[in-house]
Amino acid sequence: MSSVSTNDIVVCKTDEIPSAFQMAASPEQNVRFQSRNEESIEIQTPLPCITAENVSTHLNPDQDDIHDKQDERLSKTRTLPSSQNTNTESRFNDDPKKQQNIPSFTTLQKQRQQQLENDSDEFESFIDSNQYRPIPKKKYRLSYRSFIGTMSEIEEIYAQDDFLCGNKLFQHIFIFIDSVFRGIGQVMFANNPLSGIIIMIGLLIENWKLALYGLLGTCVSTLTAHMLKFNYNSIRAGLYGFNGCLVGMGIGYFSFPNSPYMIGPIVIMSIFSTIVFMVIGKILVQRLQISSFTFSFQICTWIWLLGALKYRYFFVNGTILSPNMLTTRVDKPRFLNVSFSHYSIQDNVVGFFTSIGQVYFTENPYTGIIILFGLCICSRILSFFAFFGAVTGQLTAAYLLGLPATAIHAGLWGFNSVLTCQALGGMFFVLYGYKIWFITFFGSIMTVLVQAAVSAFLAPVGMPTLTFPFTLVCWIFCLIAGSKDLIAVKLSAISIPEDHYHR
């Protein structure tokens, strides 16, 4: 295709101009040609100007042929005799009125330039009107499904510039509060702020001072992650908050929570928990591809409780942290006199829900029920496996190991199994096939056995086991990931068990 420039393309009526062969004819034919030429001059009108804007409507599709014909005609006119050219010029000069009716080349060029300027002004005005036209805002229709799971639709609303009327300060505060409550829910793998709010309500009902310590630890650890510029997506998911929550509640529980001096240690150790979590993550996550779980909370709490034995102004609660309270059995019967302990239905049922509350250091079955409800908002599978772990752990401790009924009633031997079943049952493994059910059930039993061994090991120094049995068992089972029929979930793609199953 030939390109069309913005210069004038003038289509002239050249078929009336005689050829050189015709000029070589008889004088009579020349006279006829002159008369015909005069008639053509009288009826001549201004030549149409074809520009780049209207060239498509004036040119034929085959533009190359038109240009060739024009070149041939121009070459023919150039072969006219000089006498004929002078005769034609004289005729144009004789009649001034006719000369005025014929536009010159400069006049056509000025008209074309003015037309181009007018067209460009109209185009710019059209662009400006469309440029500043307000873009229609996307409307989000929220339903009850928007508040379950990880609340991904709510995250899109947070990302809008007009969220909270565009006030940046209010936006940052609101998003920070969202991250804090996600951190409270992440203690039990619930990445949902509503789950964290409901769990916090249950904790406030049981022990409001201990709940506020947990909230303080979560805020401090999350703020520390922001100050140190850690991964923003991890902060938003509450991954830098759950260890601080457990540190605040653990130090307050094993010390004297009524003392206002506990605020200082909670703030210090919550900051340290964020740093330790980052350091352990570089070793376990980047090299072994396994999560550090709550190991940061365990290290920070043990450091403080062990140091409190030497501190002057801080103490530990001797009624809770005593070697006698942490031993499995003080007196062991002889082999021939072995008898099974009697556990009432109330001990078992109350122990099921109390063990769920013991994850947050609360000994109240109603708090455990509220926690289950909060987990159900995020994931029904997580809520189911939390109860499944409480049942299997408590029954194993009672009827397999014969542990005291008071400990069964208090739920002290079920909270680690709760976390183990949640982690293995759909959180870090895809819930597919019967083998994952066997691994989850067997992991719950092994968690109780490890808890008894760690409790006996720490009894001489009077330290609690915390959640270390759950962490150790999950490390062992996560390292066998990749075997047949055990589909592990990548740490970068962890969401909720429902999402893992439908991928």
Query: pLDDT: is 413 or 157 the higher one?
Result: 413
Domain limits, the chain? 9-102, 152-313, 322-503
Give the span between the Cα atoms of 346 and 359, in whole angstroms.
20
pLDDT for 351: 94
Q: State the fold for domain 322-503.
A: Ammonium transporter fold (1.10.3430)
What share of the chain has pLDDT > 90, as a percent?
47
pLDDT at 214: 96
Mean pLDDT, residues 36-59 taken together: 45
> Closest Cα to residue 465, out of 428, 391, 430, 414?
414
Least confident of 36-50, 388-402, 422-436: 36-50
40-44, 158-162, 362-366: lowest mean pLDDT where?
Answer: 40-44
Cα distances (Å, whole numbers) of residue 184 to 201, 218, 300, 388: 11, 7, 18, 21
How many angstroms separate the CA atoms of 142 and 148, rounded? 11
- Is a pLDDT exceeding 70 seen at residue 329? no
Under a CB-based contact definition with an 8 Å cutoff, are residues 383 and 199 in contact?
no
Beta bridge partners of 49: 10
Same fold yes or no, 152-313 and 322-503: yes
Q: pLDDT tens, 175-220?
A: 999 999 999 999 999 999 999 999 999 999 999 999 999 999 999 9
* pTM assigned to the model: 0.71
- Cα first-last separation, the chain: 52
135 confidence band (pLDDT: 50, 70, 90):
low
pLDDT, the chain, mean? 78
- Distances in Å between the alpha carbon of 479 and those of 268, 429, 431, 472, 474? 33, 12, 17, 11, 8
* Percentage above 70 pLDDT, the chain: 69
Residue type, 80: L
Beta carbons of 184 and 238 less than 8 angstroms apart:
yes
**Model pLDDT, residue 170:** 87
Please determine, for residue 237, whether its predicted confidence score (pLDDT) is greater than 70. yes
For position 4, what pLDDT does the model report? Answer: 43
- What is the secondary structure of 209-224 as a DSSP string? HHHHHHHHHHHHHHHH
Taking only the tens place, the pLDDT of each residue in 78-134 is 444 444 444 444 444 444 444 445 556 567 667 767 776 666 666 555 555 554 455
71 to 58, 78, 335: CA distances (angstroms):
18, 11, 121
Residue 483 has pLDDT above 80, yes or no: no
323 in Cβ contact with 332 (< 8 Å): no
Considering 51-65, 148-162, 246-260, 269-283, the range whose residues carry the highest mean pLDDT is 269-283
Question: Check: CATH 1.10.3720.10 for 152-313?
Answer: no
The pLDDT tens digits for 385-402 are: 999 999 999 999 999 998
pLDDT reported for residue 6? 42
pLDDT at 408: 93
C-beta of residue 239 within 8 angstroms of C-beta of residue 186: yes
Lowest-confidence pick of 8-22, 121-135, 426-440 = 8-22
Any idea which of 132-146, 233-247, 420-434, 476-490 has the lowest mean pLDDT?
Answer: 132-146
Phi first, then psi, for residue 160 (nearest 5°) are: -75, 145
d(CA 187, CA 190): 7
Q: Which residue do the tokens 């498509």 mark? A: 56
Q: Is the pLDDT of residue 20 over 80?
A: no
pLDDT higher at 360 or 502:
360
- Range picked from 167-181, 415-429, 452-466 for highest mean pLDDT: 415-429
- For residue 41, the model assigns a pLDDT of 45
pLDDT in tens, 291-313: 999 999 999 999 999 998 888 88
